Structure 1
Amino acid sequence: MCQTLRQKHNLTVRRQDVMLMMADLDPVGIEQRSRRRFVRRVYHSLGPNHVWHVDGYDKLKPYGLAISGCIDGYSRKVMWLVCGASNNDPDIIAHHYLQCASEFGVIPKLLRTDCGTENGTMAAIHCSLRSTHTDDLAGASSHMYGSSVTNQRIESWWSYFRKQNVLQKDLDECKEIWNTHTIRAVNQSRCPSGKPDAMYALPHRFNGRECGFCISQENLNEFFVELTRSTCGDGQLQAHFEELHAQSNLTTSYTWEAGVENYITLKNMAHI
């Protein structure tokens, strides 16, 4: 909250003042968090790109907003956070993975996902890219399946995300705020405390080491597939809405409120 006030609203605030105000505004929440009722497992990672945790957020899918995210387990840096028409299409998830690997020029030592079929193509690509390495997790061992509830790092981050906005512009802002805020030290994690961006880029300052494997764009290009799916999931419907949008005076929406208004207007125009 302190970071959000400083970065998003340009307010100069002290952490202690924010804590006191939150205690006044939400005393029940403060009390519940201070009880520490749950016994948490200790999370351990050797350094950035040791483990990437990938998962989808489905609670907004009834509104046509399917979100895919990936977080680095050591630094807690959000690697990608994308809103689209689907997060169940294996080609789309693989595309996010390849775009991320291309942006950072590295792939993780271990990729962690749930057992959903949407992760199959990405897992196969990752294992193929890791097949030439000689470490203990090379090849097929470089991907690990597990239930969503045990995918600790990304599931923990979704709880933070639920308090934020949901359009892509807001997702980018949410990602930026998270990657530049300071994470406190906790007993349930052997990973360091600090800013995710700093811990990811400078692991040696936090007693960590780079665990990823450099990857060339040439190797990544072997797996890139041009996505043909339209942004709304139906090419004809999208073309119809684009035509209606051109006929209307609707402005581009940058907030969820404006997006809802434009959606309702177009829906009424389309008589659906």
Structure 2
Amino acid sequence: MMSLNTSARNRFTTISDPDLEEHVRRLHNQFPRSGSEMMRAYLHAEGIVVQRRRVRETLKQIDPAAAAQRWGQTVARRTYYVPFPNSLWHIDGHMRLIRWGLVTHAGIDGNSRLVTFINCGTDNTALTVLTHFVRATCRYGLPSRVRSDHGGENTLVALLMNLLQGNGEVRHITGQSVHNQRIERLWRDVFQQVVHYFYTLFYSFEDEQILNPEDDIQKMALQIVFKPEIQKRLDLFRHAWNNHRLRTANNRTPTHIWMEGMLANREQHSTAIDNVFGNDPYSQENIENGLARHGIRLDQLQANNDDLERAVIVPQPHIILSSEQQQDLQNAMTGTTDLKDRYLLCVRQIQNML
């Protein structure tokens, strides 16, 4: 028993309460609405493994009002069933930052709740969504089916799925966003933990009259400065989400559920499982080979005009900077760490270039 207790203690990082509070406070400033499990996962992403009790107590000290509010929150969920990992992925776009020309695209596995991709960009085109999707399949395999809303930005994913996985079956399911349960639930957490910070910050810039979303220079500067920061926080969120424990899944993480489901169902001869463990698991090269059998190249896929009309248009600044100007801009901002200062500096630099 003593050896078991020693082994359990060794799993945790030796860190003092003040040092732990410093780390939690910094992460809390970045992800102010995170609960104890997500905060514990954010710490884990930085190599700090501590007991759940210590994280809860630290969060309570830092922000007692928010901690009390989370205790009273419950989320009503409908009964939901997907048989295997990769049986069904949900994909969607999140438009809460569209006013400033920014949009987030994500995919989530319906069985395990594993976030397969989440990316911030400056457009809502079908090619962009396809690019994110293909990169995710190279990491997690090609799903058996995909579900999305009716938006035209999803048409190339639908075409890819039906060409590669078709065999007379429907491989892309469309419906209203409110019925895309897994990803709608994900968006709630993404907004609370990542997007809300930037949403309120950008409106505060407008209140200070240092940002006008109709001003091309200011919009471009905002995107140049904040898009990488948003993506950085989305990457941290994805890592934390995929490694946080789910109360409704016996405290397993989405990553554990995905891996266990894959291993437990290897003999089921499911398309979703075979795409990972079969003789020819999917990579981008195999996707390209599959399309080649239909006489199509991946870079030739295009949405038609009707599909484009159904896609939400993300307004973009009508300014083009040369690669040399872009590099000069990055060099000018080197050493300026405060995001607001970087934005104001970027605005001035672009004005001087034009």
TM-score w.r.t. the length of structure 1 is: 0.75
Distance 1:112 1:97 in 2: 12
Q: Of residues 153, 176, 194 in structure 2, which corresponds to 1:164? A: 194
1:125 aligns with 2:191: no
SS of equivalent to 1:101: helix
What is the aligned partner in structure 2 of residue 96 from structure 1? 132
Aligned: 1:182 with 2:245:
yes
Residue in structure 2 matching 1:251, options 307, 331, 334:
334
- 5+ residue gaps, structure 2: 1-38, 196-228, 276-281, 303-314
Most deviating of 170-179 and 243-252 = 243-252
CA distance in 2 between counterparts of 1:180 and 1:32 reads 24
Q: C-alpha offsets along residues 170-224 of structure 1, whole Å, 9 cap, x if unaligned?
A: 22222122212222216xxxxx751222222231677897651524342156441
1:225 and 2:283 aligned: no
Displacement of 1:68: 0.8
Count of equivalent residues: 250
Aligned-residue offset at 1:264: 3.2
Cα separation, partners in 2 of 1:70 and 1:253, compared to 1, 3 Å: farther
Q: Following the alignment from structure 2 to structure 1, what is the Cα–Cα distance between the partners of residues 301 and 340? A: 29
Q: Which residue does 1:202 correspond to in 2?
A: 260
Distance 1:22 1:13, change over 3 A: same
Contact 1:95 1:225 survives alignment (8 Å): no
2:40 maps to 1:2: yes
Structure 1 unaligned segments of length 5 or more: list them: 133-137, 187-191
Between the aligned partners of 2:337 and 2:258, the Cα distance in structure 1 is 30
Deviations 1:89-141 (A, max 9, x none): 1122122222222343x321221101111111211221121123xxxxx53x2
Contact 1:167 1:255 in 2 (8 A): no
Question: Conserved in 2, the CA contact under 8 Å of 1:98 and 1:220?
Answer: no
> Which range moved further: 248-257 or 71-80?
248-257
**1:56 positional shift:** 0.6
The answer on 1:26 being equivalent to 2:66 is: yes
Show the counterpart of 1:189. Answer: none
Give the root-mean-square deviation of aligned CA atoms. 3.4
Match of 1:269 in 2: 352
Decide whether aligned partners of structure 1 residues 199 and 253 sit closer, same or farther in structure 2, where only a CA change above 3 A counts.
Answer: farther
Greater percentage in helix: 2
Counterpart residue type for residue 290 of structure 2: N
Q: CA deviation at 1:262?
A: 4.9
Does 1:173 pair with 2:216? no
Per the TM alignment, residue 156 of structure 1 is displaced from its structure 2 partner at its CA by 0.9
Q: Please give the secondary structure, in 2, of the residue aligned with 1:45.
A: coil
1:12-161 paired onto structure 2 within 5 Å:
13-20=50-57, 22=59, 24-26=64-66, 29-30=69-70, 32-33=72-73, 36=74, 39-87=76-124, 89-104=125-140, 106-132=141-167, 138-139=168-169, 141-161=170-190
